[in-house]
Amino acid sequence: MTLKIKTILTTLLVVLTISFSNYSSAQSNGFEIIKGMELMDQIYEHLEKYYVDDIKAGNLSKVAIDAMLKDLDPYTVYYHESNIEDYRLLTTGQYGGIGSLIRKNGDYVYITEPYEGKPAETSGLKAGDKILEIDGKSMKEKSSSEVSTALKGPKGTSVDVHVERQGSEKTITVNRDEIKLPDVPYSGMLKNKVGYIKLNSFTQTASADVKKAFVSLKEEGMESLVLDLRGNGGGLVIEAVRIVNMFVDRGQVVVSTIGRVEDENRVYKTTEEPMDLDIPLVVLMDGGSASASEIVAGSLQDLDRAVIIGSTSFGKGLVQRTYDLDYGSKVKLTIAKYYTPSGRCVQRLEYYDREEGKRPEAVPDSLITIFKTKNGREVIDGRGIEPDIDVEKEEFSRLTATVFSNNFIFDFATDYYYKHPSIAAAGDFKLSDAEYKEFEDYVLKQDFTYSTASEEILKKMKEAAEKEGFYEGASAEYEALLEKVVPSKERDLDKFKSEIVELLENEIVSRYYFQNGRTEHAFNYDDDMEEVFRLFQNLEEYNTILGN
C-alpha cells in the first residue's frame, strides 16, 4: 500500500473511530466499519495504479470525508489543516488577515467594508475597491473564499493588494494583523434610558464583553436593557450560561445536554452572583438566531426573566464538540441535544431517521409538546424559540431584492462617497428626494429584468384556465389585470422607494461610519426596537407577559 493511501486511510479511520468509539452498539457496527475501510482501501489503490491522470490524493480524501459527514448533519464538519483558520475564527473570533468584508461582484471580488482601525482601513483600502490582483496573482473569476484565503496570513506578514478605484489602479501594501471580530460590535444608551447591547457571536470573550458593556451602561444611568441576538448563529455553550448568569440567581439550571454517550449528559448551572436580578430585560430574536442564542433566549424565557421580541428563532438544538486529528486537522461532531430549563429541545429539523437523499423535515406537529415556564406560561419544543411579542416583518419587493443583489445599491453608494466628503451623523443621515432621483436614473440605465409574484401566479392561472377551457371567456379581464402587475421599473422604483431608501442610506452611512454607523442608522427603521420602547414605557404589560 502506498504512503499516500496509508495517510488517507489513517485520517478516515480516526474520524470513524471517534464517531463510533464508546457506543454500546459499536460491536454490531464493527463488520460494516471494516468492510467500508477495506473498500476505501481498494478504491484508492486502484485509482493510484490505474487512473488516467495523477490523482490529487489529499483533495480526494477531503472530498471523501466531507461527503461522509454531510450524510449526518450540517454541523458535523471536518477541518483540514489548510482550513484551520476557519476553526479559529469560529471559536475565538480571531484570524490572521487584513480585517475587511469582501463580496463577489461580476468577475471580481470587491472590498465591501473594511473594519474600522484594522489593517485594511489604516492601509487605505476602501469599500468599493475592486481586487484585481493579490501578490501579483490575478483574482479574475476567483470566488470570495479563494480571495479570502489569499488575503489571510500570519500576523506581521504583508500582502500586496492591487485594486481598481474610480477608474484608476493602485497597489496597496497591507501588513496583516491578528483580527479579532468583536462579540459586542455596538452598545449604547438609547432614548428613555434604554440600554442596548448587540451580541454577534459567542466566542471565548462574549460574556466578558457583555458584562463590560453592561457595567458601562449602568454607570450612564440605564434603567432597562435590550440584548440584541438577531443574526447571532451561536458559539460556545459556557458563554451562553455565563451571560444568563448575569440576570438570574446562582445555582439555576440554564441548559442540559443529553447524548448517546453518557459522559455527554451534563447539566449547566449558574455559578456566580448575578449582576442585576430586577432590571427590565428584552431579548431580540430572528430567524438567524441559533444555538447559543437560543439557549440564552430560551432559558430567560423559561425562567420568566426576559420578554422575547422579534420573530421565531432558527431552531438548532444540537451540541457540537471538536476533536483533534493527526496532521493538524480537526473534526467537529454533533454529540448531544440541549434542553432549556423547562425541559424543551428547540431542534426544528430531524437529520437522522430520513431516507437516503431526502432533505431533513421539521418535527411533525403531532410530536410537538407543551412545556411550562417558571410562572406557568406555555412554551413548545421543536420550533425554535417563539417570541412573546411577534413583530411582523414585511418582505422586500422583487424589485428591491433585484436592485440589491445586482449591487446597484453598493455601486451607487461607492460613487456617492467620492462625491461627498462628509455627511450628517449616522443616526441623522437622510437621502434627499433629489439624491433618490439620481439613484432612480442610475438604475434605469442598467440592464436587468425581474418578475413580480403576482405576475407569476397570473401566468400559472392562465395555463390552468386554458387547460380547463375557461380562458377564452376571461381573456380580456386577464390581460387587463396582467398589465397592472407586470414589472415597471419606473413605477416600482417609486412604489417601493421607502424600502430602497432604507438600504441605500445604510450602505452610504457605512462608507463614513463603518459598522457602528450602520447600527445607529438602522435604529431609524427598526420595528423590533419600536416595540421595545413601547413595552418599556408600559411595565405593567411587561410584567403581565412574564406572569409576574
Catalytic residue list? 291, 316
Q: Identify whether the C-beta of residue 125 lies closer than 8 Å to the C-beta of residue 171.
A: no
C-alpha dihedral (105, 108, 112, 118), degrees to nearest 10: 170
- AA letter at 414: T
Instruction: In whole angstroms, give the CA distance from residue 2 to residue 123.
Output: 48
- Asked if residues 2 and 51 have their Cβ atoms less than 8 Å apart, the reply is no
Place of cell 502506498: 2
CA torsion, ordered 122, 124, 129, 131, to nearest 10 deg = -80
CB half-sphere exposure, 480, CA atoms < 13 A: 4
> Which helix (H) or strand (E) element contains residue 284?
strand 281-285
Q: How many Å apart are CA 306 and CA 264, to the nearest integer?
A: 29
Q: Is the dihedral of CA 15, 21, 24, 27 positive or negative?
A: positive
DSSP secondary structure of 156-197: T-EEEEEEEETTEEEEEEEE-EEEE--S--EEEE-GGGEEEE
| Alpha helices, DSSP H, located in 283-361 | 292-302
How far apart CA 317 and CA 291 sit, in angstroms, is: 6
